[in-house]
Amino acid sequence: MKPLFTVHAGEYIVGSHIEKKFPRLNIWVPVKDTGIDLLVSNEANTNTVSLQVKTSRDFLTTHVREEFQKSLRSCGWWNLNRDKIKTSTADYCIFLIVRSTTKNDFILIKPKELLDRLNTIHGQLSRIQTYLWVTEKGECWETRGLTVPDQRLIMDGQFSSNPSRDFKTHLEGWGPIADLDN
């Protein structure tokens, strides 16, 4: 028997976070899978933002060099389908890194911008593996394929050779959701 209604853990975490951060907003869960995981509306239900949630556990302690662990807050990994990003009808993708010890990290980005950045970084692969690292200084970088010296530059706050890898403005970028709350 197929369940009548299910919510994935990541969608629940994102929805709960939005509900706490913006208590006047309404959060909707579609009953049909259309690529939209959550719909957030203003109090009057006249304006909405649609969200696609991508969830990762935190790989910091299991897959990142020990020398970097004190400088990093979290490290997520996703295996993305280029065509799904390209045809996404969501207003924003939310990358959620579920952390076991403290608050989770959220990265919000428009699908088109995400695809443009991934094309610049990784080329035209049909499946894109991406790592997002969040530093203790509040920076967020896409690090898949970087050399260890470049990773060290990120830890030192000195990496700048590829602006497409810089996701800092998208880390905790709740502006589109906050705009609904006005």
Every domain of the chain and the residues it spans: 9-180
Helices (H), 42-174: 60-63, 82-86, 111-122, 148-155
Provide the Cα torsion 40, 41, 43, 45; round to 10°: -150
**For residue range 66-96, what is the model confidence (pLDDT) as tens digits?**
999 999 999 999 999 999 999 999 999 999 9
**Is residue 91 a contact partner of residue 176, using CB atoms and an 8 Å limit?**
yes
Instruction: Determine how β-strand 38-41 pairs with β-strand 26-28.
Output: antiparallel
pLDDT for position 150: 95
**For residue range 113-146, what is the model confidence (pLDDT) as tens digits?**
999 999 999 999 999 999 999 999 999 999 999 9
Distance CA 182, CA 48 (A): 12
**Is residue 170 a contact partner of residue 108, using CB atoms and an 8 Å limit?**
yes
Q: Which residues contact 91 (CB under 8 A, 6 or more apart)?
A: 49, 50, 51, 110, 176
Q: Which two tokens stand for residue 171?
A: 């880390």
pTM summary value: 0.94
Q: What is the mean pLDDT of the chain?
A: 94
**Is residue 166 a contact partner of residue 141, using CB atoms and an 8 Å limit?**
yes
Q: Is the pLDDT of residue 4 over 70?
A: no
Instruction: Determine how β-strand 92-98 pairs with β-strand 48-57.
Output: parallel
